[in-house]
Amino acid sequence: MQVVRARIAAAARAAGREPDAIRLLAVSKTFAAQAVRAAHAAGQREFGENYVQEGVEKIATLSALPLAWHFIGPIQSNKTRPIAEHFDWVHSVAREKIALRLSQARPEGLGSLDICLQVNVSGEASKSGVPPEEVQALAEAVRALPRLRLRGLMAVPEPSDDVELQRRRFRDLRLLLEQLNRAGFGLDTLSMGMSQDLEAAIMEGATIVRVGTAIFGERKQA
Ligand SMILES: *Cc1c(COP(=O)(O)O)cnc(C)c1O
């Protein structure tokens, strides 16, 4: 945890940004509630999960702790209700139908569900995410839904050791966000950067980095 915080701070300084402008999302998928407890004890408050059932169970186990939970995995339409009922954020919205179902299932007693649209910035190399040319139409649809609050964009580029390629993908996402904001969306979130590429993401303006392996260690399954 401290190593990752130091990486974020160093990258922020190199980019001429305030370290506080970058939130660390600890991706706890496949790790037990006990690992989340330990991270909480080390000061971490925001956690990311990819699998609905695993996430919901962990959220229930840890409900006494003041944590925020972000859903970052692929979303099947028959799983939108538990996501809307238990999570604070969803980063992986790529279809209008999913957004509509999340809005309909968001309980009145909870605040709006914070949403990022997942964008496919890698073209052929990635299957998840909305194509860049369809982002604005999806953003307009999501903005119109009453129980959702559109916050920004998210991407998972193809893994690469080439820092220039990493930066190019993240830059494309930032330019898309800027384009939406010129069209009046007022978005404040760029969810990009993981264990291998968080420095490149911070150089290109990430406001949330999603880090699993560098905090919790290698996962047993993918
Ligand atoms: C697993 C995952 C992460 C964390 O990846 P690491 O390489 O372990 O840091 C971040 N974002 C998403 C969408 C993930 O599925």
Q: Which residue type, as a one-letter code, is found at position 66?
A: P
Among candidates 203, 160, 212, 222, which has minimal Cα distance to 4? 212
Tell me the pLDDT tens digit for each residue of 158-200. 999 999 999 999 999 999 999 999 999 999 999 999 999 999 9
Tell me the pLDDT tens digit for each residue of 27-61. 999 999 999 999 999 999 999 999 999 999 999 99
Among candidates 71, 133, 62, 59, which has minimal Cα distance to 102? 71
The answer to whether the predicted template modeling score (pTM) of the entire model surpasses 0.85 is yes
Q: Please state, in angstroms and rounded to a whole number, the distance separating the CA atoms of residues 208 and 185.
A: 19
| Domain extent listing, the chain | 2-216
**Residue 4 near ligand 1, beta carbon < 6 Å:** no
Residue 100 scores a pLDDT above 90: yes
Distance of CA 155 from the midpoint of ligand 1 (Å): 11
DSSP states of 136-200: HHHHHHHHT-TTEEEEEEE--PPP-S-HHHHHHHHHHHHHHHHHHHHTT----EEE---TTTHHH
Residue 87 scores a pLDDT above 60: yes
pLDDT band at 124 (very low <50, low <70, confident <90, very high): confident
The answer to whether the beta carbons of residues 142 and 99 sit under 8 Å apart is: yes
Distance of CA 194 from the midpoint of ligand 1 (Å): 6
Tell me the pLDDT tens digit for each residue of 60-74. 999 999 999 999 999
Distance spanning both ends of the chain, measured CA to CA: 21
Substitution candidate for ligand 1 out of 50, 117, 192 with most atoms within 8 A of CB: 50
**Residue 159 near ligand 1, beta carbon < 6 Å:** no
**Residue 98 near ligand 1, beta carbon < 6 Å:** no
Alpha-carbon dihedral sign for residues 107, 148, 97, 46:
negative
Substitution candidate for ligand 1 out of 7, 120, 210, 221 with most atoms within 8 A of CB: 210
Q: In the prediction, which pLDDT does 220 show? A: 86
Distance of CA 74 from the midpoint of ligand 1 (Å): 12
Q: Please state, in angstroms and rounded to a whole number, the distance separating the CA atoms of residues 148 and 114.
A: 6
Residue 137 scores a pLDDT above 90: yes
Substitution candidate for ligand 1 out of 25, 29, 49, 72 with most atoms within 8 A of CB: 72
Q: Which residue type, as a one-letter code, is found at position 160?
A: S
Q: What does the pLDDT average to over 133-144?
A: 98
Q: What does the pLDDT average to over 69-84?
A: 98
The answer to whether the beta carbons of residues 43 and 16 sit under 8 Å apart is: no
Q: In the prediction, which pLDDT does 221 show? A: 65
Tell me the pLDDT tens digit for each residue of 200-221. 999 999 999 999 999 999 998 6
Q: What does the pLDDT average to over 112-131?
A: 92
Residues ≥6 apart with Cβ < 8 Å to 221: 30
Residues ≥6 apart with Cβ < 8 Å to 142: 93, 96, 99, 115, 117, 148, 150
Instruction: Indicate the CATH number for domain 2-216.
Output: 3.20.20.10
Tokens of 46: 């925001």
